[in-house]
Copies of this chain bind each other. A is one copy, B any other.
Amino acid sequence: MPSAPRTARALARAELTRQILDRASAQLAEVGPAALSVRQIARDLEMASSAVYRYFPSRDALLTALLIRAFDDLGEAVEAGGAGADRDDLRGRWLGIAQGLRGWALAHPHEYALTYGSPVPGYAAPQDTVPAAARVATALLVLVKDAHEAGRSPGAPTRPASEAELASIAPVRAFVTDELDEAYTVRGLMAWATLFGNISLELFGHMYRGVLDYDAHYATVVEQLADDLGL
């Protein structure tokens, strides 16, 4: 990646790349990932559709760039949510993270669908997206680690992990610290799944007419998860 574009051409290229990405981002927000059209972006920017391909080799590449952007955006929102509370106010940080997550999802439904809904067309998210995608999980893991180091432990009885499970979740534990309590790790992963499960079910319409007040229900779930995590 060229750090400082010096020639006029490189400058123009960076600028146009940005414009294309911006238009694509706007289109994503408006019509969703499936209806995103390279030709429409070209029309918006008053250029030939073929010219767009000088900057992005394919529609999928464009989508991948948007995916990374979305992950980063979400990661920022979640981190900001967690930073709203004091570092040792674990429950406050948890609530902030959880609200940051859902708040972003509600504000950017199409982006959420792109990141956490079913992967688009036939296409498997490439390696490039991994670091950006990890930000949310990292925020949660760090919180769990801090809780463990503060001497907390799950507020709900948690069964010991099986041998298979212990080996299975090793990467997660290694990511923060190998000393991380196994029960805490399992509870953390469960909380992670519960949050995304709730948001997906809500956003994709599966709670329709079953739960009436999504805000209230999410708040309940988040508080309960905080209890279960001993925060």
A68 at the interface (CB under 8 A from B): no
Q: Are B117 and A118 in contact (CB under 8 A)?
A: yes
With an 8 Å Cβ cutoff, the count of chain A residues facing the other chain is 66
- Rounded to whole angstroms, the CA-CA distance of A165 and B130 in the bound complex is 36
Dominant SS among interface residues on chain A: helix
Question: Separation in Å of the A162 CB from the closest CB of chain B?
Answer: 7
From 26 to 43 in chain A, residues with beta carbon under 8 angstroms from any chain B beta carbon are 31-35
Q: Are A212 and B168 in contact (CB under 8 A)?
A: yes
| Chain B binder among A5-13, A79-87, A198-206 | A198-206
Copies of this chain, how many? 2
List chain B residues, Cβ under 8 A from A205. Answer: 119, 124-125
List chain B residues, Cβ under 8 A from A137. Answer: 206, 210
From 202 to 217 in chain A, residues with beta carbon under 8 angstroms from any chain B beta carbon are 204-206, 209-217
From 99 to 144 in chain A, residues with beta carbon under 8 angstroms from any chain B beta carbon are 113-114, 116-122, 124-125, 133, 137
List 9 interface pairs A-B (beta carbons < 8 Å), by A numbering: A35-B122, A118-B204, A137-B210, A159-B227, A168-B213, A168-B214, A171-B210, A194-B194, A195-B197
- Rounded to whole angstroms, the CA-CA distance of A220 and B193 in the bound complex is 13
| Chain B binder among A16-24, A46-54, A150-158 | A150-158
A219 at the interface (CB under 8 A from B): yes
Q: Per-residue CB proximity of A165-205 to B under 8 Å, as 1/0?
A: 10111111001000000000010011011111110110011
Question: Separation in Å of the A134 CB from the closest CB of chain B?
Answer: 8
Q: Are B200 and A196 in contact (CB under 8 A)?
A: yes
Q: Are A217 and B168 in contact (CB under 8 A)?
A: yes
